[in-house]
Amino acid sequence: YVSIDCGVEEGYLDNPTGIWFKPDKEFISTGENHETLPEYQSENEQYGKRYKTLRSFPNGAKNCYTLTLTHAHNNSFRIRASFGYGNYDRKNQPPKFDLYPGVNYWATVNSRSNVCYEIIHVFPADTEYMCLVNTGSGTPFFSSMEIRPSNISTCYGNGSSSELTYVEIYNLGPTLVPLVS
């Protein structure tokens, strides 16, 4: 599995969760690193450092993370994408943008508070892309991404994504809880 903390310079062990988070620079070459304002950073250990930094994408209509996983082809993965605006740009205007795993629309991100989305996605190859699309309503950004194997390929093994739920999720604990729509 892979855990990515966007905007950090070095990887770290998140002590409350025991999860190793990698910096996102090995997955994308565009964007800018930023810190959220201190008043928006949670002291709740459950969130760890994930909402203290982010990577924003002021340039380009579409910016994509390259996710290469061993034996990912035709296997399903649970992806958790987290976003915490934290007024990093001091505009106090959270952006609105679209999120795409590969070419499949997943969600429109539009939230003032820390939010994450989860999806079960079948990787059509060992490499897949997680893309942020600028819709003209502010600068897209990413706070963190977690990718875990899911054992439901037999149900969704046709090379497409199947979203289990489309809700804002605030429990960002160390385990991924199965969601049922």
Q: What is the CATH number of the domain that holds 14?
A: 2.60.120.260
Confidence category of residue 171, pLDDT binned at 50, 70, 90:
very low
Question: Is the confidence at residue 161, as pLDDT, over 50?
Answer: no
| Structural domain of 11 | 2-165
Q: Tally the domains of the chain.
A: 1
For 136, how many CA atoms within 13 A lie in the half-sphere containing its CB?
0
Specify if 147 maps to a domain: yes
Per-residue pLDDT, 11:
95
Split at pLDDT 50, 70, 90, the class of 100 is: very high
Structural domain includes residue 173: no
Q: Comparing 22-26, 98-102, 160-164, which segment has the lowest mean pLDDT? A: 160-164
Which SS3 state, helix, strand or coil, does residue 38 take? helix
Of residues 42, 43, 132, the one with CA closest to residue 96: 132
Over 90: is that where the pLDDT of 107 sits?
yes
Report if residue 180 sits inside a domain.
Answer: no
**pTM of structure:** 0.81
* Residue 31 in this model has a pLDDT that exceeds 90: yes
Percent over 90 (pLDDT), the chain: 64
pLDDT of residue 164: 40
Q: C-alpha dihedral over 108, 111, 114, 117, to 10 degrees?
A: -20
Decide if 176 is inside a domain: no
